Amino acid sequence: MHHRDDQKNEVQAATDIVRLIGEHVALKPKGKEFACLCPFHDDKNPSMYVSPQKQIFKCFVCGAGGDAFSFVMKYHKMTFPEALQHLADRSGITLRRYGGGGDEQGEQGPSERQRIAAANESAVGFFQSILRHPEHGRVARDYLAQRGISDEMVEAFGLGAAPDRWDGLAETIAHRGWDQAGFDLAGLVKARGDGSRYDALRCRLVFPIYDGIGRPIAFGGRKLREEDEPKYLNSPETRLFNKSATLYGLHRAKKPIIDAKTAVLVEGYTDVIACHQHGADNVVAALGTALTAEHVRELRRYCEKVVLVMDGDDAGQKAADRAVEVFLTEDLDVALAILPDGHDPDSLLKEEGGIERWRGLVAGATDALDHQFDRVRQQLDAADTLTGRQRAAEGYVTKLAELGLARAGSIRRSLVIQRLSGMLHLSEQAIQTLLNARSPRPSRAPAPLPPEADAPTPEGDADFPDPSLADAETRRRLQAMAQAERQVIAGLIARGDLFGMELPDGRHLDEAVAPGDFTTPMNRDLFGRVHDRLCDGAELTLASLLADLAAERLESLADLATQCDAELEQLIGGDPQRVEAVLLTAAEAVRTYHRERQYQQDRRSLHEDTADRSQLLRRLVEHRRSNPSPVRIARFGP
């Protein structure tokens, strides 16, 4: 375990969390920190902060927080060994192998996600080797040459080929002794009734589908024989692959999208590759689906605007309607760029001056709502009767209601209504009345309130058997205590040298406050870890604690540790000299509350037959001598 700790610390020290998170979301400087949209909940306003000084992140809405390991594990759904390896590779560090069974596999073997990931990695190599094969890859290479796809793009996007036979991959799996279950779970091979297996992709050009950090999570295959159907075939959804949330080419386009603050969405694999080949590298594609809310949430982390490139046909108009729905409900600017007749991105870019025409097309893209307004104006102009114009106007307002205008933010909704009023020559009040009448009615049943994640539960305290039933004053005291406990934790993480400081009654903090004195299970657990480290004389920093919590997959405790740190920072206002005063006040509050609970329990015990009455009376008298007035718990925090 010692070697693993060394490696963990080495990788953590080599990783700049600002640069790491900046590769995944758009960061904006804010004082000494950076702010961004939180990728761990549906964030509309930047609520996550990244501290370059402490190398941590914290969301003040959903509570997510931690270090570089925590971020990678949460964002990419990795295990700690996977996150350690990923960050080591990213930093150019070679991890030393060690024994002890410290990774996720243990005695149960690899997880389903790990099996699929390993199968996908092996399959990428297999398909690439087939593409290079003089015989088996010839048809695929001819197709690439016909489309003008360069060798550089073949390598950049990991293109390969599936052989023209039923069991090319299946035979290779058996011959090399690869994990058959992983390929089954990935949908790369399928089973016949007799138990034999055959390839899912046969005689196709293969496009690996990568996640945001370049791991293959699925595959797409384009037919190479005219008679084969369908034209494109994708992997089934797996534990790694969610088609509705995946954008092809994102691993190559993410940084250019952040730089341009704009993402361009095209229709297919070859369109993406053609754009990147000609220098338009902020381009991605949905996998045969319309733009979904999940796509939008992914893109909103990197940019402020999405340009949809489409044909001017009926399918394009449907995509335009979807774009308006996204614009109304997802707080992302969406514009439409209509390709010239007879062109796709590839053919346009191949013309002389194609990249300039492309950039002009994207720069001049029409706002999705304006595009739809233009169509409505045409309908209004074509209506030759007052009734016809009225029906067209009411029909469009109804459509906007169905697309979700009522769910739009108040400012965005007001702006849309204002523009509708001018176009339809109706008052804003009249349009609002129409919208109210035509908007879907919300369910009358209220959604259940979520339970508190870690409400204070002072077990064994008959005064407060159920905090949810306690009076307001009791709840306030419990909340104040939980906050004081967090301040004790944060103070000791920041200043471990204060662990033995003397309290007003002459006792030292290390002997006066114990984990069992804390009111919530999570506070007890986290303080117990801090307490044990300090008692053992081990190193204690926020970074080392977060790395250990990440390794143990204790995300909730990592979130709590960063919450404690954030609350302490608010209290001390950047002055480290104030940590001692905060810690002293919070420790006294914890001790006082604990003594008062003990006093109440002793009073109740006097009425029990088995009680040692003389000992209890001595304790009660001593308590009242040292606490002549009733205990009052102050509210802690800024």
* pLDDT tens, position by position, 327-377: 777 778 889 999 988 899 999 999 999 999 999 999 999 888 888 888 888
Asked if the model's pLDDT at residue 425 lies above 80, the reply is yes
Assign 440 a pLDDT band (cuts: 50, 70, 90). Answer: low
Window from 111-115, 147-151, 199-203, 451-455 with minimum mean pLDDT: 451-455
Q: Evaluate whether the domain defined by 2-91 bears CATH number 3.90.580.10.
A: yes
User: Token digits for 54?
Assistant: 């402490």
AA letter at 108 = Q
Architecture of the structural domain at 112-241: Alpha-Beta Complex (3.90)
Assign 186 a pLDDT band (cuts: 50, 70, 90). Answer: very high
Instruction: Tell me the CA distances in angstroms from 357 to 162, 237, 301, 368, one per residue in order.
Output: 36, 37, 28, 20
* Lookup result for tokens 């979130």: 559
Cβ(117)–Cβ(127) below 8 Å: no
Kindly report the CATH number that applies to the domain delimited by 245-371. 3.40.1360.10
CA pair distance 610, 622, nearest whole angstrom: 21
Query: Where along the chain do its domains lie?
Result: 2-91, 112-241, 245-371, 383-438, 467-626
Residue that wins the pLDDT comparison between 125 and 377: 125
| Average pLDDT of the residues of the chain | 84
CA pair distance 589, 587, nearest whole angstrom: 5
pLDDT at 42: 83
For residue 205, list its beta bridge partners.
161, 222
DSSP state of 311: -
Q: Mean pLDDT, to the nearest integer, of 511-518? A: 84
CA pair distance 248, 285, nearest whole angstrom: 5
Asked if the model's pLDDT at residue 615 lies above 80, the reply is no
Instruction: Tell me the CA distances in angstroms from 527 to 160, 513, 514, 557, one per residue in order.
Output: 53, 10, 8, 10
CA pair distance 214, 206, nearest whole angstrom: 16
User: CB neighbours (10 Å) of residue 243?
Assistant: 17
Q: Mean pLDDT, to the nearest integer, of 11-21? A: 94
Asked if the model's pLDDT at residue 475 lies above 70, the reply is yes
Question: Which residues 6+ apart lie within 8 Å of 414 measured at CB?
Answer: none
User: CB neighbours (10 Å) of residue 625?
Assistant: 8
Asked if the model's pLDDT at residue 544 lies above 70, the reply is yes
Q: Mean pLDDT, to the nearest integer, of 427-449? A: 68
Q: If you write DSSP's letter for every residue of 492-515 in order, what string do you get?
A: HHH-GGGGGPBPTTS-BHHHH--G
Instruction: Tell me the CA distances in angstroms from 251 to 209, 213, 214, 304, 620, one per residue in order.
Output: 9, 6, 5, 18, 67
- Nearest by Cα to 51 from 506, 542, 452: 542
User: Token digits for 250?
Assistant: 């994102």
- Mapping DSSP onto H, E and C, the string for 415-447 reads HHHHHHHHHHCCCHHHHHHHHHHHCCCCCCCCC
Gap between the terminal Cα atoms of the chain: 41
pLDDT digits (tens, 9 = 90+) for 284-322: 999 877 788 888 888 888 888 999 998 766 666 677 777
CA pair distance 125, 133, nearest whole angstrom: 12
CA pair distance 21, 71, nearest whole angstrom: 8
Q: If you write DSSP's letter for every residue of 90-124 in order, what string do you get?
A: HHTPPPPP--S--SS-TTT---HHHHHHHHHHHHH
Q: If you write DSSP's letter for every residue of 294-331 in order, what string do you get?
A: HHHHHHHTT-SEEEEEE-SSHHHHHHHHHHHHHHHHS-
Q: Mean pLDDT, to the nearest integer, of 268-277? A: 96
DSSP state of 233: E
pLDDT at 208: 98
Asked if the model's pLDDT at residue 482 lies above 60, the reply is yes
Q: Mean pLDDT, to the nearest integer, of 141-160? A: 97
Window from 166-180, 552-566, 583-597 with minimum mean pLDDT: 583-597
Assign 104 a pLDDT band (cuts: 50, 70, 90). Answer: very low
Asked if the model's pLDDT at residue 226 lies above 60, the reply is yes
Window from 298-312, 392-406, 460-474, 518-532 with minimum mean pLDDT: 460-474
Mapping DSSP to helix (H, G, I), strand (E, B) and coil, where does residue 334 land? strand
Asked if the model's pLDDT at residue 572 lies above 60, the reply is yes
Assign 452 a pLDDT band (cuts: 50, 70, 90). Answer: very low
Asked if the model's pLDDT at residue 175 lies above 50, the reply is yes
Separation of CA 303 from chain center? 15
DSSP state of 439: S
Asked if the model's pLDDT at residue 17 lies above 70, the reply is yes
pLDDT at 162: 98
pLDDT at 453: 41
Q: Mean pLDDT, to the nearest integer, of 601-625? A: 54
Question: For 467-626, which CATH class?
Answer: mainly alpha
Asked if the model's pLDDT at residue 24 lies above 50, the reply is yes
Q: Mean pLDDT, to the nearest integer, of 463-474? A: 55
Asked if the model's pLDDT at residue 15 lies above 50, the reply is yes
Q: Mean pLDDT, to the nearest integer, of 11-39? A: 93
Rg (CA), the chain: 31
pLDDT at 170: 97
Task: Give percent of the chain with pLDDT exceeding 90.
Answer: 45
Cβ(418)–Cβ(428) below 8 Å: yes
pLDDT at 430: 86
Q: Mean pLDDT, to the nearest integer, of 413-425? A: 87
Peptide bond preceding 628 in cis form (omega within 30 of 0)? no
Asked if the model's pLDDT at residue 637 lies above 70, the reply is no
pLDDT at 149: 97
- Mapping DSSP onto H, E and C, the string for 544-556 reads HHHHHHHHCCCHH
Asked if the model's pLDDT at residue 631 lies above 50, the reply is no
Cβ(312)–Cβ(282) below 8 Å: no
Q: Mean pLDDT, to the nearest integer, of 233-257? A: 93
* Lookup result for tokens 């990783």: 15
Assign 2 a pLDDT band (cuts: 50, 70, 90). Answer: low
Task: Give percent of the chain with pLDDT exceeding 70.
Answer: 85
AA letter at 610 = T
